[in-house]
Amino acid sequence: MKSNEEWRKQLSPEEFRVAREKGTEPPFTGRYWNNHEEGMYRCVCCGAPLFRSQEKFESGSGWPSFTAPAEEANIQTERDTSHSMERVEVQCSQCGAHLGHVFPDGPRPAGLRYCINSASLKFEPIANSQ
């Protein structure tokens, strides 16, 4: 596992704050909340494939929202009781990066909304994601 110093060298200050320190970017400010290109959203830290554009939907929340991960094995969830709320945090299972949260208010059939910070993601357009 990398040290915080190594992560700081690899990531921008905002990416480090969100992915390594469990921060949250303000709504409607991230680079991917309004991205409609086809491709794969990968972990900004380790490159693991996390979400596909086919599962992205407009939630109105201001963050990229997905109905399901690209591969269940590449994410893990953990109970989050910070900020006087009870939520389910989503992390990259490969490197432990904080991605965002999952909520039970998404579209059918699964009914899940993976609300993910753009700063935790690196988008790879479809031409390059094969």
Mean pLDDT for the chain?
A: 93
Q: Which pLDDT score is estimated for 80?
A: 83
Q: Can you name the CATH fold of 4-128? A: 2.170.150
Residue 92 annotated among the catalytic residues of the structure:
no
Q: Give the residue-averaged pLDDT of 107-120.
A: 94
* Interval 48-104: pLDDT, tens: 999 999 999 999 999 999 999 999 999 999 998 787 778 899 999 999 999 999 999
DSSP 12-44: -HHHHHHHTT---PPTT-STTTT----EEEEET
User: Residue 87 has what pLDDT?
Assistant: 87
Q: What is the pLDDT of residue 128?
A: 54
| Residue extents of the structural domains in the chain | 4-128
**Residue 92 amino acid letter:** C
**Range 102-112 average pLDDT:** 92
pTM of the entire predicted model: 0.92
Catalytic residue, chosen from 45, 46, 92, 115, is: 115
Residues comprising the chain, all counted: 130
